[in-house]
């Protein structure tokens, strides 16, 4: 048999694996089931009406391996218990003596070593947990055995055998099987035997690897089989959990063939896959619905040998009915009509979900992924649960879980990284800026598996103009389509249809935009993740009209670079502008323009999608939303947000009018040297409100993570970079905060380091500080009972302002469920000398997206008579993007004026923090505060 030698290795390696991957678990052939437990430890298949039970995920595997988890990340290993006549036992021989004697095993260790790939399901009719274990023996004498228990962890007691393999006419053990009961004959039909009278492993099944499911009509089925005759389906009796002997297969005792493909066998059941000793094992069927609500029965089979060098891959087929026929994405039948070497370089049969791969920061590659189960959670989400091995010369293995998403053709795709709570499909549409950038991609090609080769990362650019460059060339489209996040990559090697998602990168805990896609024609999967960075931003806000480009006489000419605004940048960068574009629009080109200059060349780009000069060897393409007949009104006297971004050799430009993207373009194969970015135009003038210059550097992460995503860093032992400030200042940090999902401590979160001279104050996320200088006053709006869960994976925007000897610390915390919380600390008697700020933590990790220093220039110029309501007293009035925040000790109302002194009316506010929406972009006076909405 294919597994005999490998399982001997497995027994030896289990002890080593426990320490090598202690945070995950070495459960081979994992089968997953959802379990709810009450306060007394009783287990159920669902929650109660009050929702008081706790949800767990349990996995069961070969050689009685098992584990449970609350999050499918952190697993706790255990050994399920068994009993004989009510007495707990670990004598596995006595437990299954009838099947052990049939298989030729005589000791408990022999039996345990050959107990393979169980599946556990709750039998509604019996009101018990049912475990189906396979016992493999000599000369294919295999059995699938049913056990039941009232508790998920046991003790399980033997009920009986479901199906057998390996029987022959010369065997005295034929009486131990149910062949005669099924067929009515005590003589084994010759089709099951070869010319020597032994079990014919090209036709007859090996009775291992059980998987049990209820179909959509409530009928109970057993899927089983491995190599040999292939994969079969048996109808089970819902009351007993054993074989339904009233269900007939074939025509009397004759098999049914579809040409040269076996369709039904009277004893073995319905033939779903394999045959002729073609590889294939670990069958698992689940009914899943795609994003359009269309459902199929998806059958997963692992092909190849499951040893590290065995070319093991998970393949998927589907059918509209549970009994088939099952076909793959190109229509190939899962049942074979002759022997074929169907693994290694042959990935024609069944869509391979993934193949040997390695990310750049990994020290070992993942190889031989397989024997999976699939979880369909209560919310409809689906997860692939499997074991993987490594290219380190051992048989080490551990469990991994990847979420499954469906492309627009309804085929399941595994995400590039392991599942983490709160990540997956975004609830909102990704912008073109979100998706555009430099990606690492892994193409899941067949490799020289015998040499443990793996698929490695390549570089690809998704450009703003809709093109792809790098490892793949072509075009791309993204369709949000009511939350479905479809992406299509039309490449030089074919079309990949996939899904865009948000993920945490394995072993790094850095958030990224990723995609998973499938080229159906070539039966090949493609993974990609956007390369991460931290944006170190210097932002200047221009009050009033303190930065003008051009003049009100519209005399600016297209090449007057001395009158343009100049930003000198290097490496990967972003320069973002917010300005009012004033033009008489006599011509299309009477608008803003940008110029990017190296020491010898200039790319001059106009607002009307025209380049006056480009870089040697580069290609510029454009994407816009306007109708040229109405173009002159697109930018005329409008508020424009313009971003110029360079990542690697691609320069992307995005132009927004009133917050709507109207134009993007890309210059691919551009220079990577230092450049000057100029903002100007022709026959126009620009009233600039803000300029942000960003250096896109290596992603800053404060803390450490294990491979399994747990955080073990000690208090204040890992410190992030610091930012120096002086005078009155404003600092902004944007990051995600992670701590262990099992954490119960409020302090296992981020900690701000405020440094003045030789003193360091540590301000924790849970409203506590150490080594305080000055005096601190705290306000927050969370419930302490929920604080730990709020901070798990929370997005934090942390702003720090100093005015004289008062520093305000303000955190806006968005939990993974989308709820927003606010935390503020006012420090009086604070230092007025230069300071530094940074972060540390405890058993946590912070993933920084933005570190921004904000300054202001000029003064506000407001005309007209303005009567400010002096009675308004607020702790703070500020804005972020399009939201106005008023934090007030009491309820009240305030007059709001625009920059021309015209009243917009009055805003009512409540005590505490108020969020006010609906203000257009611009500068306002609100309660004596100058506020920019952008």
Q: What is the mean pLDDT of residues 7-18?
A: 35
Q: Does the CA dihedral 708-709-713-719 come out positive or negative? A: positive
pTM: 0.89
Tell me if 198 sits within 8 A of 168, measured CB to CB. yes
pLDDT at 544: 87
Residues 6+ apart with CB under 8 A from 157: 82, 83, 84, 86, 147, 148, 149
Euclidean distance between CA atoms 304 and 280, whole angstroms: 7
Spatial contact of 595 and 584, defined as CB atoms under 8 Å apart:
no
- DSSP states along 596-651: EE-SS-EEEEETTTEESS--TT-EEEEEE---GGGGGGTSTTEEEEEEEEEETTEE
Q: What is the pLDDT of residue 195?
A: 94
Separation between Cα atoms, residue 227 and residue 339, nearest integer Å: 11
Is the per-residue pLDDT at 434 higher than 70? yes
pLDDT digits (tens, 9 = 90+) for 823-879: 999 999 999 999 999 999 999 999 999 999 999 998 764 433 333 333 334 457 777
Angle value at C-alpha 81, between 134 and 114, nearest 5 degrees? 25
Cα(309)–Cα(441) distance, rounded to whole angstroms? 23
Phi and psi, residue 183, nearest 5°: -100, -20
Give pLDDT tens digits for 607-617: 999 999 999 99
Query: String of b and e for 603-612 (b: at least 16 CB within 10 Å)?
Result: bbbbbbbebe
What's the pLDDT at 8?
A: 33
Q: Please say if the pLDDT value at position 583 is more than 80.
A: yes
Instruction: Classify strands 565-569 and 75-78 as parallel, antiparallel or unpaired.
Output: unpaired
pLDDT digits (tens, 9 = 90+) for 752-764: 999 999 999 999 9
How much is the pLDDT for 895? 78
- Integer-rounded Cα Rg, in Å, for the chain is 33
Cβ-contact 314, 279 below 8 angstroms: no
Average pLDDT over residues 424-449: 96
How far is the CA of 426 from the CAs of 66, 484, 485, 514, in angstroms? Answer: 32, 9, 8, 11
Distance from C-alpha of 517 to C-alpha of 494, rounded to nearest angstrom: 12
Residue 639 pLDDT: 96
- pLDDT, residue 901, reads 63
Report the pLDDT value the prediction gives residue 709, as an integer from 0 to 100.
Answer: 79
pLDDT in the model for residue 900 = 58
Phi, psi of 433, deg, nearest 5: -60, -40
For residues 520 and 328, give the distance between their C-alpha atoms in angstroms, rounded to a whole number.
Answer: 9
* Predicted confidence (pLDDT) at residue 920 exceeds the cutoff of 90: no
User: How would residue 919 be classed by pLDDT, with cut points 50, 70 and 90?
Assistant: confident
- Express each pLDDT in 341-380 by its tens digit: 999 999 999 999 999 999 999 999 999 999 999 999 999 9
* pLDDT in the model for residue 880: 66
What end-to-end distance do the CA atoms of the chain give, in Å? 68
pLDDT tens digits along 519-575:
999 999 999 999 999 999 999 999 988 999 999 999 999 999 999 999 999 999 999
pLDDT in the model for residue 860:
64
Nearest 5°: CA angle at 355, between 352 and 357? 155
- Residue 302 contacts residue 368 (beta carbons within 8 Å): no
DSSP string over 836-852: EEEEEESSEEEEEEEEE
Alpha-carbon torsion (693, 698, 704, 706), positive or negative:
positive
Per-residue confidence (pLDDT) for residue 896, from 0 to 100:
82
Instruction: Find all residues with CB under 8 Å of 296, minimum gap 6, and list them.
Output: 287, 288, 290, 318, 319, 320, 410
The strand pairing partners of 676, in sequence order, are 568, 597
Helix (H) or strand (E) holding 434: helix 432-435
Instruction: Produce one character per residue of 510-525: b if its CB has 16 or more CB atoms within 10 Å, e if not.
Output: bbbbbbbbbbbebbbb
Tens digits of residue pLDDT in 207-225: 999 999 999 999 999 999 9
Which residue in the block uniquely carries the two structure tokens 């995609």?
A: 515
- C-alpha distances out from residue 680 to 173, 306, 591, 640, 677, Å: 91, 63, 9, 13, 10
CB 133 within 8 A of CB 115: yes
pLDDT tier, 16 (very low <50, low <70, confident <90, very high otherwise): very low
Strand partners, 225: 231
* Sign of the alpha-carbon dihedral angle for 59, 65, 67, 73: negative
Q: What is the mean pLDDT of the chain?
A: 92
pLDDT of the residue at 865: 33
Tens of pLDDT along 642-699? 999 999 999 999 999 988 999 999 999 999 999 999 999 999 999 999 999 999 999 9
Q: Do residues 228 and 209 make contact, with C-beta atoms less than 8 angstroms apart?
A: no
Predicted confidence at residue 867, as pLDDT, reads: 33
Query: In the prediction, which pLDDT does 934 show?
Result: 67
pLDDT at residue 410 above 90? yes
Q: Is 90 exceeded by the pLDDT of residue 408? A: yes
DSSP letter string over 17-66?
A: HHHHTTTS---SS-EEEEEEE-TT--EESS--TT--SEEEEEEE-GGG-E
Residue 645 has, within 13 A of its CA and on its CB side, a CA count of 24
Burial level of 206, CB count in 10 A (0-12/13-18/19+)? buried
């Amino acid at each position: 048999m294919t597994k005999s030698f490998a399982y001997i290795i497995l027994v030896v390696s289990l002890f080593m694996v426990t320490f090598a991957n202690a945070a995950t678990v070495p459960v081979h052939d994992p089968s997953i089931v959802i379990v709810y437990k009450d306060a007394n430890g009783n287990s159920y298949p669902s929650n109660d009406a009050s929702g008081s039970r706790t949800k767990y995920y349990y996995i069961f595997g070969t050689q009685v391996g098992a584990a449970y988890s609350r999050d499918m990340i952190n697993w706790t290993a255990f050994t399920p218990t068994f009993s004989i006549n009510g007495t707990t036992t670990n004598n596995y021989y006595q437990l299954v003596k009838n099947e052990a004697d049939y298989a030729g095993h005589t000791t408990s260790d022999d039996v345990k070593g050959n107990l393979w790939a169980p599946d556990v399901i709750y039998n509604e009719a019996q009101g018990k947990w049912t475990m189906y274990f396979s016992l493999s023996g000599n000369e294919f004498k295999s059995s699938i055995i049913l056990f039941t228990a009232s508790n998920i962890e046991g003790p399980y007691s033997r009920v009986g055998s479901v199906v057998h393999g390996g029987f022959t006419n010369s065997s005295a053990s034929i009486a131990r099987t149910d062949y005669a009961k099924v067929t009515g004959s005590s003589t084994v039909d010759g089709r099951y035997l070869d010319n020597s009278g032994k079990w014919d492993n090209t036709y007859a099944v090996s009775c291992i690897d059980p998987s049990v499911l209820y179909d959509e009509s409530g009928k109970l089925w057993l899927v089983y089989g491995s190599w040999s005759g292939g994969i079969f389906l048996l109808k089970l009796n819902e009351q007993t959990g054993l074989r339904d002997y009233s269900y007939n297969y074939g025509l009397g005792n004759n098999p049914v063939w579809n040409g040269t493909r076996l369709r039904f066998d009277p004893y073995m059941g319905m033939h779903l896959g394999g045959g002729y000793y073609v590889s294939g094992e670990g069958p698992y069927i689940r009914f899943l619905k795609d994003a359009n609500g269309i459902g199929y029965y998806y059958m997963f089979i692992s092909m190849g040998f499951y040893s590290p060098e065995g070319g093991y891959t998970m393949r998927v087929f589907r059918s509209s009915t549970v009994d088939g026929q099952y076909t793959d994405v190109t229509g190939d039948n899962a049942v074979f009509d002759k022997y074929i070497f169907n693994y290694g370089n042959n990935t024609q049969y069944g869509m391979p979900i993934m193949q040997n791969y390695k990310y750049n920061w990994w020290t070992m590659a993942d190889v031989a992924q397989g024997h999976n189960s699939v979880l369909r959670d209560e919310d409809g989400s689906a997860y692939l649960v499997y074991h993987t091995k490594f290219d380190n010369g051992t048989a080490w293995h551990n469990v991994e879980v990847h979420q499954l998403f469906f492309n627009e053709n309804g085929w399941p795709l595994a995400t590039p990284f392991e599942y983490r709570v709160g990540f997956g499909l975004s609830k909102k549409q990704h912008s073109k800026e979100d998706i555009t950038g430099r990606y690492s991609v892994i193409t899941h090609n067949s490799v020289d598996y015998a040499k443990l080769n793996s698929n490695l990362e390549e570089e690809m650019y998704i450009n703003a103009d809709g093109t792809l460059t790098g490892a793949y060339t072509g075009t791309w489209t993204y369709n949000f389509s009511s939350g479905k996040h479809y992406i299509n990559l039309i490449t030089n090697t074919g079309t990949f249809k996939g899904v865009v998602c948000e993920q945490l990168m394995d072993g790094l805990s850095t958030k990224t935009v990723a995609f998973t896609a499938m080229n159906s024609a070539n039966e090949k999967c493609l993974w990609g993740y956007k390369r991460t960075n931290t944006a170190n931003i210097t932002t200047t806000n221009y009050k009033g009209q303190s930065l003008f480009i051009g003049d009100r006489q519209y005399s600016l000419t297209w090449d007057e670079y001395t009158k343009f605004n100049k930003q000198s940048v290097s490496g990967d960068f972003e320069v973002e502008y917010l300005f009012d574009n004033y033009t008489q629009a006599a011509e299309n080109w009477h608008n803003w323009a940008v110029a990017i200059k190296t020491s010898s060349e200039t790319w001059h780009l106009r607002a009307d999608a025209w380049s006056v000069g480009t870089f040697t060897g580069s290609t510029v393409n454009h994407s816009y939303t306007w109708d040229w007949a109405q173009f002159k009104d697109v930018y005329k006297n409008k508020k424009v947000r313009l971003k110029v971004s360079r990542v690697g050799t691609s320069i992307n430009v995005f132009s927004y009018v009133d917050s709507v993207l109207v134009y993007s373009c890309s210059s691919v194969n551009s220079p990577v040297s230092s450049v000057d970015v100029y903002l100007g135009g022709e026959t126009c003038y620009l009233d600039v409100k803000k300029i942000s210059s960003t250096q896109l550097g290596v992603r800053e992460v404060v803390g450490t993570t294990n491979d399994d995503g747990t955080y073990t860093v000690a208090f204040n032992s890992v410190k992030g970079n610091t930012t120096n400030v002086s005078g009155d200042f404003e600092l902004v940090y944007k990051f995600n905060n992670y701590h262990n999902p099992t954490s119960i401590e409020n302090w296992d979160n981020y900690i701000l380091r405020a440094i003045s001279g030789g003193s360091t104050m540590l301000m924790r996320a849970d409203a506590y500080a150490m080594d305080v200088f000055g005096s601190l006053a705290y306000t927050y709006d969370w419930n302490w009972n929920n604080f730990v869960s709020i901070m798990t994976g929370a997005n934090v925007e942390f702003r720090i302002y100093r005015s004289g000897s008062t520093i305000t610390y303000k955190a806006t915390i968005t939990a993974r469920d989308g709820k927003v919380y606010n935390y503020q600390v006012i420090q009086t008697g604070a230092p007025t000398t230069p300071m530094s700020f940074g972060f540390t933590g405890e058993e946590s990790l912070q993933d920084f997206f933005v570190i921004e220093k904000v300054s202001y220039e000029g003064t506000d110029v407001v005309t007209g008579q303005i009567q400010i309501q002096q009675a308004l007293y607020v702790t703070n009035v500020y804005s972020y993007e399009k939201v106005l925040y008023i934090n007030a000790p009491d309820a009240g109302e305030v007059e709001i004026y625009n920059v021309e002194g015209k009243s917009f009316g009055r805003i009512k506010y409540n005590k505490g923090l108020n969020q006010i929406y609906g203000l257009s972009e611009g500068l306002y006076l609100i309660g004596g505060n100058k506020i920019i909405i952008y």
